[in-house]
Structure 1
Amino acid sequence: MNNWEICLLDSSARVVDAARVIDASIAKIALVVDKDRKLLGCITDYDVRKAVLCGMDLLENKALSIMNANPKVIESSASNILIHQTMLNKNVRQLPLVDSKGCLCGLRILSEFDISRLKHSNPVILMAGGLGTRLRPLTDKCPKPLLRIGDKPIMEIILESFIQQGFSNFYISVNYKADMIEDYFGDGNRYGISINYIREKKRLGTAGALSLLPDNIEEPVLVMNGDLLTKVDFGQLLDCHNYRHADATMCVREYRYQVPYGVVDIADEKEWVITGLTEKPVHSAFVNAGIYMLNPEVIKDIPKDTYFDMTDVFALNIEKNRKNMAFPIREYWMDVGRMEDFERAREDFL
């Protein structure tokens, strides 16, 4: 990798700095070094997301606190064949090159050896059958996926984001004004991709349309609501889903809300003893972000042509002792289903 030095991170940096370095490079790694460029450790996108899920303050905490201090490395004199084989054997996508003193000399990434790893054959299902009720009157004559943000429809922005990340196999679930959506996007040929349509004849909830997918799907499926604008790294989502051997993965976002009153802590309900007071406290919780990875066997359990929500899918997985996992989103994310958010997205994409 020629420009590997953009992955360097000073040992005094914060977690948020590590996230910026990771996002700035195709390598998706931060290499933590001292003043002599001795490699102290590595931080990956997975490490940062884990910190988010644990509630860590990315602005306050040091990057060293989430660093892998014993990363896999290889001597800079190693041949390309040895480097490639080591990455395959160790199941790593990045491999730092070091000299005899442990000082960093370079970085190799797996896609340098196999460009096909940047391509994903996994089906992407975009749920676009909603009525867009909250965006009326804009949706009275135009389906929500074709409303424009800047000079492009919402769905086109979503498609192009996936295409840029190597996805090419799409299904779009349609119902309301389906003909307008199909006429605009066609079979995907003008984008160099394949688009098929799932036609809902009745309202099927947020997951029921998945029961209408072909039976021959053999890879994990990426499902996303058709009114989301995001810069999520979908390749990282797929890697995380596979790495953790998940049956279903739900993207989540941290949601903060403030209680508009002073909160009173009462220890003894019989005696009404006040033990503490907090003025307008801020709480946080992780909420469903409308993006999912689902294994084929999970989709096969969705009842055919029946109203079924995505919450029902995850509840059914719990009943069957399947592995449901969370993937925290730290990138830009906007649900444009409400008028105020739609207007805000328009400003973001000016």
Structure 2
Amino acid sequence: MLHQAVILVGGRGTRLGALTDDTPKPLLPVGGRPFLAYLIDELFRQGFNDILLLAGYRGDRIERFCQEMLRPGLRLRCMTEPEPAGTGGALRTVSDQLEAQFLLLNGDTLFDINLNDFSTPPLSADGDVLARMALRRVPDTARYGSIVLESSRIVAMLEKGPAGKGLINGGIYLLDRRAVDRLPPSPCSIETDLFPLLAAEGAIEGRVYDRFFLDIGVPDDFALAQSAIPASRRRKAAFFDRDGVLNEDIGFAHRPDQITWMPGARKAVKRLNDAGFLVFVVTNQGGVARGLYGEEHVRTLHRWMQEELRAVGAHVDAFYHCPHHPDHGKAPYRTDCRCRKPEPGMLLQAMAEWPVEPLGSFLVGDRETDVQAAQRAGIEGTLHLGGDLDALVAGILARSGTGTEVETAR
């Protein structure tokens, strides 16, 4: 699975005037935190945990930011170019550190898409397509320039020009490392020296996403970002019980070879990812208290499930498990806790750790105790007693009007 992402953070940001006199544009404060922190958060929560920042102007500030953003499970590095080489030149300098395929993002744009959908399936190994670009439909392309898409291939990239609705470059790309070899000597630009070349050869795909999009490169949009971006981070959430909902309940499953996905389970998770929901698993794991397996078995299984989901363009934002039981095992696992459903502890923990909007959030479980936990946490609970989970979730979204909801900025 794809785990590497590269972010271009070397630009000067001259259109923002004095704001970038001593601060790189991606580090400007938005809603009280560096803009770049939002990009890191989005990548990491969706499974991209090897992140490389390509810095230039005030690279020392970017390097310090890297140290401040480190967290368990995240590999975050900064490479500062010795002299300006353009976006293409910056890529060339780190070509030996790039995976065979990787995500590339502009460091001044937030495009709230399902990154696992965008990167699935991988680009073809035969080299027929060397890049994929995320596109956004806007009412006025004048500021950005427009993209001409025929079927799934980008055939032209037009310079900034007359106003009018159309498709624009959303600043997120999937690249084959072989595309970097097509760049001319530095300084060079991926936007002007690589992508038009690939488009002329029919070697770049485009995918359209109608999701929240904002480029902070001009003063008006930077001002808008102060409220729009923090507001866009608050999301509805879907909580799933695990055994009997996502996978068949065989009793105390704790190994990948014991897991059979329920019909429509992975599609349901992806549907929610595409709609912008946070997705959590909340599962009672009394087998730990009984001594049948350990908590590390639970975590290992959940990591395997996550990779299975990512293979179909989906992901779970966090897995929560309760290892306790009131009647079995020994301390510390034998206890009457606040996390074992029907108690709402796991749900409340997720709501405290993530920007969950309770209104419109819901839980799907296969037992009344699941529904009781949801009610105690202040959200809707739905029983799933068999059948296609994706159909159930689609119905929930349709009833709430979320299935066609689109978040937009400019």
Shorter chain as denominator, the TM-score bin is 0.5 to 0.7
- For residue 229 of structure 1, report the CA deviation from its aligned partner: 1.7
**1:202 paired to 2:49:** no
SS in 2 for 1:190: coil
- For residue 144 of structure 1, report the CA deviation from its aligned partner: 1.3
2:214 aligned partner: 334
Alpha-carbon distance in 2 for matches of 1:258, 1:293: 22
SS in 2 for 1:155: helix
The C-alpha deviation readout for 1:152-200, integer Å capped at 9, x for no partner, is 1001111001001011111111111110110121296435311222322
Under a length normalisation based on structure 2, what TM-score does the superposition of the two structures give?
Answer: 0.47
The correspondence for 1:254, drawn from 137, 147, 154, is: 137
Does the 8 Å contact 1:187/1:194 carry over to 2? Answer: no
1:303 aligned partner: 184
The root-mean-square deviation of aligned C-alpha atoms, in Å, is: 2.7
SS in 2 for 1:197: strand
The correspondence for 1:346, drawn from 223, 226, 247, is: 226
Alpha-carbon distance in 2 for matches of 1:297, 1:143: 29
Does the 8 Å contact 2:214/2:221 carry over to 1? Answer: yes
SS in 1 for 2:87: coil
Which structure: greater strand fraction?
A: 1
Does the 8 Å contact 1:241/1:249 carry over to 2? Answer: no
- For residue 215 of structure 1, report the CA deviation from its aligned partner: 2.1
1:225-304 to structure 2, matched below 5 A, reads: 225-242=106-123, 246-257=129-140, 283-304=164-185
SS in 1 for 2:18: coil
SS in 2 for 1:330: coil
1:185 aligned partner: 66
Does the 8 Å contact 2:5/2:52 carry over to 1? Answer: yes
1:73-88 to structure 2, matched below 5 A, reads: none
2:193 aligned partner: 312
- For residue 305 of structure 1, report the CA deviation from its aligned partner: 3.7
Query: Residues 193, 258 of structure 1: CA spacing in aligned structure 2 closer, same or farther, 3 A cutoff?
Result: closer
Query: Residues 315, 258 of structure 1: CA spacing in aligned structure 2 closer, same or farther, 3 A cutoff?
Result: closer
Aligned length: 209
The C-alpha deviation readout for 1:182-222, integer Å capped at 9, x for no partner, is 01212964353112223222322232211012426343111
User: In structure 2, what residue type is equivalent to 1:238?
Assistant: S
Does the 8 Å contact 2:88/2:190 carry over to 1? Answer: yes
Does the 8 Å contact 1:211/1:303 carry over to 2? Answer: no
The C-alpha deviation readout for 1:237-272, integer Å capped at 9, x for no partner, is 10155479732111111232399xxxxxxxxxxxxx
Does the 8 Å contact 1:122/1:220 carry over to 2? Answer: no
Return 5+ residue gaps in structure 1 as ranges: 1-119, 260-281
Query: Residues 291, 127 of structure 1: CA spacing in aligned structure 2 closer, same or farther, 3 A cutoff?
Result: same
**1:211 paired to 2:92:** yes
Under a length normalisation based on structure 1, what TM-score does the superposition of the two structures give?
Answer: 0.54
**1:159 paired to 2:40:** yes
2:16 aligned partner: 135
Does the 8 Å contact 1:247/1:322 carry over to 2? Answer: no
Tell which deviates more after alignment, 330-339 or 241-250.
Answer: 241-250
1:146 aligned partner: 27
Query: Residues 345, 191 of structure 1: CA spacing in aligned structure 2 closer, same or farther, 3 A cutoff?
Result: farther
Alpha-carbon distance in 2 for matches of 1:309, 1:331: 24
1:26 aligned partner: none
Return 5+ residue gaps in structure 2 as ranges: 143-162, 232-410
- For residue 304 of structure 1, report the CA deviation from its aligned partner: 4.8
